[in-house]
């Protein structure tokens, strides 16, 4: 890293050849860095145009840089002006270059920053200042449909791997000059662009500052995905619950901004981060606000029920069938008992076996090459659904338990919380197997206490359940009609809390019309 | 760092210490007992226990050749001992929480059921929502060794049959352990239990043959109420008296009655709603009890020519029916007063509620007092509906 240190301080020299030599030296003569040496004007000034092939748009370089320098300025006033030689780069920037954005570079560090981001760098012989002309343009995937967070009704756009596209997708939704954007580079080697977006006046200044500070503290060689940032800035490492929210939907990010959250975008990934994150937020989906409120409320509650089903059903089944048979209605007990006839394992081992099998299938389904994906589901249903039951290794009731658990888990809109629940389930199953319902209750108490102790960037994680705010319940277990969602969540920001001023909508009375 | 670890250790310790009952059993290690019978045999108890054979009952494996239940009968000086001795025959430990019915043998009932009830209420495994019945003309063992159709598990048959006959016919009584014990220990009331009997061929009752015939040759049937004096069986009420008893107790939900038409034939009435109130009072140092029964009924069957559209006809029917119900109640009361000398109706409790001062003196010899007790009965009978047709077809034919 010594080279980097020296590089940071090393200024450009006046001699073009020396500069080019140094550039070749630093980049190891990489073949995708193109150096085009030209002579322009009547005075035949030596210049070099550098760009990275693949990152720079060749059309911009030929049409707006090379053409304007080599052809357009011939025999013009500019040509006369540059013959002076003392401030060639100034004149070129001001009069000749027909590109949208130019910057001045004065050292090798800056030069490479522009060059490797796709800009063209123009070096003039005799001047220690270079010009970086914007020419970024590379192949990207384009805006496509979200893969993980799909909706029935709502925008079909998803973030992409290009930071600029992503910021544009958010800007398209919030056309307010107070939507502020700050960009920093993180990663000693990767120098990844990381952008912070927030709405000035709505977001809490302290949280914005905290985000800035935490990002600045990061010292790592590379950032390849926003997950890196998430792990390096989260409040608590040893917790199964995520304290940073992520989304691939621009509309969800815009909604987060409007609630006063800070959005962190990382170049190279379609997943953007939102802080502070509240637990209730992980059970909200953007579609909740696009569908009618009554339906959204029903779905919301089904999600909360599913959360408990996926967390508790296997452990409840174990506890009740091995410790508390007296609370099962007689007919159900007899039916369960008959299913368990001949099953060689205790209920806990049986449950563990099935849950682990399912986790393996699920993981295999994710990693599988897409073409084989379908065969996995067939093998899965056959192996665990039928063969295991017919072989008498597991009881049919257990298959139902595992299936309902798995399906309930997919109902949770945030994958990250789904994972937490998946992990905690195993702990609760062990507690249930050794202590029955008593163990489950204790386990749940511990989980609730832990959840209440969590904070995300200063906001209590369980807010508005604990601390309880009656007014904030409007968007948790229920999703009240839009005209009743008048204020922003107070746990996130206390600035400008009133969102809207709508009456209960009704037909206008005749007097007014 | 030390603090969380200490807390975790403490927590784990508490988890182990505070569990209380800790009994882990897999479902296939349980012998689920659904019915229990207690008989007397050479000064010992003969305990019969009916255990579900889950494999034969489950819907998916229905139609197998094994019996749906197994009944083990074991002798012991105490019920508990007999139950534990059963494990020498049963591969699994008996699990008592899902008991549906307990059948008390006639001899045990005559000797006194308090000893049996002690185990039932002391043992922690029982869920006290099972019904208690007394076997009549058969031993409890024979009752529990009878296979039934429709409900494959005989205990379920007994349980549901008692429930449905109680709501639709009203000549049986649902007695749970709590109710029985509270009646037994009360000073102003004696308990009753429903009787169960086995009709038909006892020798094939427990064989597959009994389940393969369209008319089961051995059939379990509820019959009458057993009258107890404290915890000892003293006699039986017949069907009409049982109904009368239930009218007094406000236990009739629905039943069928009939009254005779003036010109031959009968009219059947469906009782749809009843409500009865019992009030005690003391007049000139003599206790008296007043019973007021309100009955609502629909006409469900007409076998004679009568103009039901006339108000007078209906009033006449109402008066007749009221007399009839009054008769049932009178029958029950006089049998309890003169034959058994046991206040099974709780008249003593009614007097107690009305005049606690008087009761203090009267309770010592309440049984004698009960024999000469004046009971004033009033029945308010109302016919609410005629069904889907008005007059009988008999009338139109004659015209």
Encode burial over B251-287: b for 16+ CB neighbours within 10 A, e otherwise.
Answer: bbeebebbbebeeebebebbbeebebebebeeeeeeb
- Give pLDDT tens digits for B255-277: 999 998 887 889 999 999 999 99
Q: Are residues A455 and A308 in the same domain?
A: yes
Residue A499 falls inside a structural domain: no
Domain-located, residue A513? no
Q: Of A175, A179, A173, whose CA–CA distance to A155 is shortest?
A: A173
Are A350 and A230 in a shared domain? no
Predicted pLDDT of residue B397: 52
Give the other-Cβ count within 10 Å of B333's Cβ.
24
- Name the more confident of B397 and B316: B316
User: Which residues fall within 8 angstroms of residue B132, CB to CB, at 6 or more apart?
Assistant: B101, B102, B104, B175, B176, B177, B180, B193
- Supply the pLDDT for residue A20: 92
Is the Cβ–Cβ distance between A355 and A425 less than 8 Å? yes
Residue A313 lies in a domain: yes
Q: Count of CB contacts below 8 A, A vs B?
A: 74
pLDDT at A420: 94
Structure token digits, residue A47? 């210049």
Neighboring chain B residues of A325 at a CB cutoff of 8 Å? 25, 27, 30, 95, 97-98
Q: What is the mean pLDDT of residues B18-35?
A: 82
Collapsing DSSP to helix, strand or coil, A134 comes out as: coil
What is the pLDDT of chain B when averaged over all its residues?
89
Question: What CATH architecture does domain B240-399 belong to?
Answer: 2-Layer Sandwich (3.30)
Tell me what pLDDT residue B66 has.
Answer: 81
% residues pLDDT > 70 (chain B): 96
- Residue B332 confidence class, pLDDT cut points 50, 70, 90: very high
Residue B331 has pLDDT above 90, yes or no: yes
Q: Determine the average pLDDT of the residues in B162-186.
A: 90
Rounded to the nearest angstrom, the minimum Cα separation between A49 and chain B is: 59
- Which residues have CB under 8 Å from A18's CB, separation 6+? none
Residues of chain A falling short of pLDDT 50: 1-7, 513
CATH 3.30.300.210 boundaries in chain B? 240-399
Tell me the per-residue pLDDT of B284-330, one tens digit each, with 9 for 90 and over. 888 999 999 999 999 999 888 888 888 998 999 999 999 999 999 99
Residues contacting residue A55 through CB under 8 Å, at least 6 positions apart:
A116, A117, A118, A136, A137, A138
Domain shared by A317 and A447, yes or no: yes
> Which chain B residues contact residue A346 at CB under 8 A?
26
Which uninterrupted H or E stretch holds B40? Answer: strand B30-41
Whether residue A208 sits in one domain with residue A81: no
| The pLDDT value given to residue A507 | 83
Candidates A314, A307, A312, A318; CA nearest to A409 is A307
Question: Encoding tokens for residue A503?
Answer: 């009456």
- Can you say how many angstroms the Cα of residue A99 is from the centroid of all Cα atoms in its chain? 32
Q: Which whole-number Å values give the CA distances from A451 to A49, A233, A256, A273, A458, in the listed order?
A: 57, 18, 22, 20, 14
Q: How much is the ipTM here?
A: 0.83
The shortest CB-CB distance from A337 to any of B23, B32, B59 is to: B32
- Whether the Cβ atoms of residue A61 and residue A122 lie closer than 8 Å to each other: no
Specify the pLDDT at position B64: 61
- Structure token digits, residue A240: 């199964």
- For chain A, the straight-line distance linking the first and the last C-alpha, in angstroms and rounded, comes to 75
Residue A450 and residue A330 share a domain: yes
A348 and A229 in a common domain? no
Q: Please indicate whether, in this complex, the C-beta atoms of A347 and B156 are within 8 angstroms of each other.
A: no
Using pLDDT thresholds of 50, 70 and 90, give the confidence band for residue B392: confident
Give the H/E segment covering residue A121.
Answer: strand A120-124
The encoded tokens of residue B236 equal 């039986």
A139 in any annotated domain? no
**Across the interface, do B55 and A341 touch by the CB < 8 Å criterion?**
yes
Q: Which of A419, A437, A460 is where one domain is finished?
A: A460
The domain of A102 spans 2-133
- Report the C-alpha gap between A461 and A125 in whole angstroms: 59
> How many other CB atoms are there within 10 angstroms of residue A54's CB atom?
12
SS (H, E, C) A310-340: HHHHHHHHHHHHHCCHHHCCHHHHHHHHHHH
Judged by a CB distance cut-off of 8 A, whether residue B25 touches chain A is yes
- Euclidean distance between CA atoms B200 and A53, whole angstroms: 101
Residues A253, A328, single domain; the answer is: no
> Is position A50 within any domain?
yes
CA A157 – CA B316 distance, rounded (Å) = 82
Instruction: Return d(Cα A1, Cα A23) in angstroms, integer.
Output: 17
DSSP for A260-326, written as a single string: T-EEEEETT-SPEEEES--GGGGG--GGGGTS-HHHHHHHHHHHHHHHHHHHHHHHHHHHHHHT-GG
CA A289 → CA A252, A478, A493, distances in Å? 10, 12, 21
Nearest residue on chain A to B51, judged by CA atoms? Answer: A334
- Would you call A165 an interface residue with chain B, using a CB distance cutoff of 8 Å? no
Q: What is the DSSP string of B210-278?
A: HHHSSS-SEEEEEEEEEEEETTEEEEEE-HHHHHHHHHHTT--SSEEEEEE-TTSSEEEEEEEEEEEEE
Per-window interface: B 53-82 vs A, CB < 8 A? 54-55, 57-61
Query: What's the pLDDT at A4?
Result: 38
CA angle at residue B46 from B44 to B49, to 5 degrees? Answer: 150
Task: Give pLDDT, residue B305.
Answer: 83
pLDDT at A509 (0 to 100): 62
Residue B167 CA to residue A251 CA, distance in Å, equals: 61
Q: What total number of domains does chain A contain?
A: 3
């Amino acid at each position: 890293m010594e080279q980097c240190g020296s590089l940071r301080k090393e200024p450009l020299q006046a001699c073009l050849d020396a500069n080019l030599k140094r550039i070749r030296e630093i980049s190891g003569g990489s073949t995708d860095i193109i150096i085009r040496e030209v002579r322009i004007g009547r005075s035949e000034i030596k210049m070099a145009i550098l760009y990275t092939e693949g990152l720079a748009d060749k059309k911009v370089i030929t049409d707006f840089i090379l053409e304007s320098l080599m052809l357009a300025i011939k025999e013009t006033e500019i040509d006369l002006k540059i013959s002076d030689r003392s401030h060639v780069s100034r004149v070129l920037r001001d009069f000749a270059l027909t590109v949208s954005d130019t910057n001045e570079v004065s050292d090798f560090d800056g030069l490479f920053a522009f060059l490797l981001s796709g800009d063209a760098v123009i070096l003039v012989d005799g001047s220690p200042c270079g010009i970086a002309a914007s020419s970024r343009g590379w192949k990207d995937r384009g805006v496509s449909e979200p893969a993980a967070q799909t909706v029935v009704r709502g925008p079909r756009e998803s973030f992409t791997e290009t930071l600029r596209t992503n910021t544009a997708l958010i800007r398209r939704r919030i056309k307010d000059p107070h939507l502020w954007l700050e960009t920093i580079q993180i990663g000693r080697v990767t120098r990844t662009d990381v952008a912070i977006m927030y709405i000035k006046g709505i977001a809490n200044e302290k949280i914005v500052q905290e985000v800035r500070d935490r990002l600045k503290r990061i010292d790592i060689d590379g950032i390849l995905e926003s997950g890196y940032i998430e792990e390096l800035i989260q409040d608590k490492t040893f917790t199964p619950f995520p304290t940073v929210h992520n989304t691939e939907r621009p509309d969800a990010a815009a909604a987060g901004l409007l609630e006063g959250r800070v959005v962190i975008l990382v170049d190279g990934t379609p997943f953007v981060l939102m802080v502070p994150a509240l637990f209730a937020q992980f059970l909200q989906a953007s579609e909740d606000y696009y569908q009618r409120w009554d339906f959204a409320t029903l779905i919301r509650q089904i999600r909360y029920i599913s959360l408990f089903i996926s967390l508790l059903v296997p452990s409840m089944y174990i506890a009740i069938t091995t410790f508390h048979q007296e609370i099962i209605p007689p007919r159900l007990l007899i039916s369960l008992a008959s299913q368990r006839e001949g099953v060689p394992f205790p209920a806990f081992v049986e449950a563990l076996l099935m849950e682990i099998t399912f986790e393996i299938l699920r993981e295999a389904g994710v990693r599988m090459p897409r073409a084989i994906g379908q065969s996995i589901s067939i093998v899965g249903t056959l192996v665990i659904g039928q063969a295991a039951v017919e072989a008498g290794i597991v009881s049919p009731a257990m298959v139902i338990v595992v299936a309902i658990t798995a399906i309930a888990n997919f109902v949770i809109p945030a994958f990250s919380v789904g994972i937490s629940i998946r992990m905690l389930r195993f702990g609760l199953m062990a507690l249930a197997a050794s202590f029955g319902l008593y163990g489950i209750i204790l386990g749940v108490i511990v989980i609730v206490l832990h959840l209440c102790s969590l904070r995300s960037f200063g906001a209590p994680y369980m807010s508005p359940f604990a601390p309880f705010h009656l007014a904030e319940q409007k968007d948790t277990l229920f999703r009240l009609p839009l005209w009743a969602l008048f204020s922003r969540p107070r746990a996130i920001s206390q600035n400008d809390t009133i969102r809207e001023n709508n009456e209960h909508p009704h037909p206008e009375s005749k007097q007014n019309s | 760092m030390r603090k969380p670890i200490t807390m975790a250790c403490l927590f784990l310790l508490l988890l182990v210490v505070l569990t209380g009952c800790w009994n882990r059993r897999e479902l296939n290690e349980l012998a689920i007992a659904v019915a229990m019978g207690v008989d007397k045999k050479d000064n010992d108890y003969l305990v019969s226990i009916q255990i579900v054979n889950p494999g034969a009952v489950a819907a998916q494996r229905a139609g197998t050749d094994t019996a749906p239940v197994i009944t083990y009968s074991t002798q012991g000086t105490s019920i508990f001992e007999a139950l534990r001795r059963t494990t020498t025959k049963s591969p699994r430990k008996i699990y008592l929480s899902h008991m549906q019915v307990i059948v008390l043998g006639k001899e045990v009932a005559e000797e006194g059921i308090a000893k049996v009830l002690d185990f039932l209420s002391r043992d922690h495994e029982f869920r006290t929502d099972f019904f208690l019945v007394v076997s009549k003309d058969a031993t409890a063992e024979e009752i529990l060794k009878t296979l039934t159709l429709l409900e494959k598990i005989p205990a379920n048959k007994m349980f549901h049959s008692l429930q449905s006959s109680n709501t639709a016919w009203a000549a049986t009584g649902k007695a749970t352990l709590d109710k029985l014990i509270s009646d037994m220990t009360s000073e102003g009331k004696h308990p009753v239990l429903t009787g169960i009997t086995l009709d038909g061929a006892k020798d094939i009752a427990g064989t597959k043959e009994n389940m393969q015939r369209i008319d089961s040759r051995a059939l379990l049937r509820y019959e009458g109420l057993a009258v107890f004096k404290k915890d000892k069986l003293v006699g039986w009420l017949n069907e009409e008296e049982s109904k009368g008893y239930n009218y007094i107790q406000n236990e009739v939900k629905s039943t069928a009655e009939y009254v005779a038409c003036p010109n031959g034939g009968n009219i059947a009435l469906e009782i749809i709603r009843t409500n009865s109130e019992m009030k005690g009072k003391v007049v000139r140092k003599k206790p008296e009890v007043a019973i007021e029964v309100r009955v609502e009924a629909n006409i469900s069957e007409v076998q004679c020519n009568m103009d039901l559209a006339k108000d007078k006809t209906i009033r006449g029917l109402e008066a007749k029916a009221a007399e009839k119900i009054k008769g049932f109640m009178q029958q029950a009361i006089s049998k309890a007063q003169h034959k058994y000398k046991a206040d099974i109706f709780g008249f003593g409790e009614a007097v107690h509620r009305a005049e606690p001062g008087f009761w203090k003196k009267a309770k010592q010899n309440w049984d004698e007092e009960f024999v000469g007790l004046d009971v004033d009965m009033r029945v308010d009978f109302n016919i609410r509906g005629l069904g889907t047709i008005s007059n009988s077809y008999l009338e139109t034919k004659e015209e």
